[in-house]
Structure 1
Amino acid sequence: MRNLLHNINSAIQIGDWCVLTAGIILVAVLFQQLWSHQDATRVQIRHGDRIYGTYSLNQQRDIHVQGAMGAATVSILHGKARFSQSPCHNQYCVHQGWLSRAGQAAICLPNQLSLELIGETKPYDSLNY
């Protein structure tokens, strides 16, 4: 067993450690550059493939949207948004909870409704059907 550990340790060269260290640093830098931590400023509500409306998150408001199955309610409060009511059976969209970061989305597929939070700049990804 001791010989096996010695062989493994001697097999790892200084170049291996340099590549490993460079890889860890690269991952950390890319994570900081590409991961969005931007707060959202607006919520965009879609019904099917069309935009129902875009609303500021700097308000306290409930928006009632008629979907394919019935009316759903989107609540806006203190810079956050969520589906607070939906006619769908499983209520996955309601259980998604409050969204506050740009790029976050909640989708109610049976009712063909979605909401996406938008920041000052458009994130690299978009919400599509």
Structure 2
Amino acid sequence: MNIHIFKIGDKILVVSIAIIVVIFIAWNAFGAKPGENITAVITQNGKVIKEIKLSDLQDPEYIYIKGEINQVILAEKGRIRFLESNCPNQTCVNTGWLTKPGNKAVCIPSKVVITITGEQEVDIYLY
């Protein structure tokens, strides 16, 4: 008695799924990675103080903002944050690292805003 466990349709399905998995892995391995081509824009009172290409940084960079409220911003490869601030509530410091395009950190008393720009990842597709 000759019993076939897999029929031709089953084999086609398994091969199709394997091809899709290989394409998906290749797409993720060779496509653009998050953190590539991102720039931090630091503004105060709506005026650009500095733009830093985070994807190109090799060494940490400290940005000192002096005024009524003194601040230190730390930029490293692929990320940036408020490191120190003498503002009253420290919300800007507690925001932590900004790494993705669209992320923002704001110090309202000093009117300093850090914004990450670049290619955004797609979270979901809707049809």
What interval of TM-score do these two structures reach, taking the shorter chain for normalisation? 0.5 to 0.7
Corresponding pairs, count: 84
- Corresponding residue of 1:52: 49
Residue 43 (1) aligns with residue 34 (2) = no
Name the CA distance, whole Å, in 2 between partners of 1:77 and 1:38: 15
**TM-score, structure 1 as length reference:** 0.59
- Corresponding residue of 1:84: 83
- Give how far 1:78 is off: 2.3
Uncovered stretches (5+) of structure 2, i.e. residues with no partner: 1-32, 121-127
Uncovered stretches (5+) of structure 1, i.e. residues with no partner: 1-36, 122-129
Name the CA distance, whole Å, in 1 between partners of 2:88 and 2:101: 28
- Give how far 1:120 is off: 4.2
Give the aligned CA root-mean-square deviation in angstroms.
1.9
Name the CA distance, whole Å, in 1 between partners of 2:53 and 2:47: 18
Matches within 5 A, 1:1-129: 39=35, 41-57=38-54, 58-59=56-57, 60-67=60-67, 69-120=68-119
- Give how far 1:117 is off: 0.5
Letter in 1 for 2:62: D
The range that moved more, 51-60 or 84-93, is 51-60
- Give how far 1:38 is off: 5.2
Deviations 1:44-73 (A, max 9, x none): 000112111101213221111124x22211
Residues 42 and 54 in structure 1, CA contact (< 8 A), matched pair in contact too: yes
- Corresponding residue of 2:19: none
**TM-score, structure 2 as length reference:** 0.60
